[in-house]
Amino acid sequence: MSLLVMGLSLVAILIAYESFGHVGPKFSADLLVKQQTVLRKQYGLPPRPVITNDSLLLVPPSLRNIVQNKQSS
């Protein structure tokens, strides 16, 4: 019985993965850019440049300055 439940769970996960696909860091970055744009307009702040470097998107924002400094050295 437990093997049947595990099998059905795996099938459900595979179906969800096939229907939604791999989300990845690009989805989160795009969502963050949209949120930042709306909030900056709402509060009258100047726009910020958008990060398009995919390898930099994998680094947490708190560590990006450290990574950029190491890459430029």
Provide φ and ψ at 7, rounded to 5°. -65, -45
Domain boundary assignment for the chain: 24-73
Cβ–Cβ < 8 Å for 40, 48: yes
Two tokens at 2? 């437990």
Q: Give per-residue pLDDT as tens, 61-71.
A: 788 777 556 66
Q: Give per-residue pLDDT as tens, 9-52.
A: 999 999 988 888 777 777 777 888 899 999 999 999 998 888 77
Is the pTM higher than 0.75? The answer reads: no
Beta carbons within 10 angstroms of residue 14's beta carbon: 10
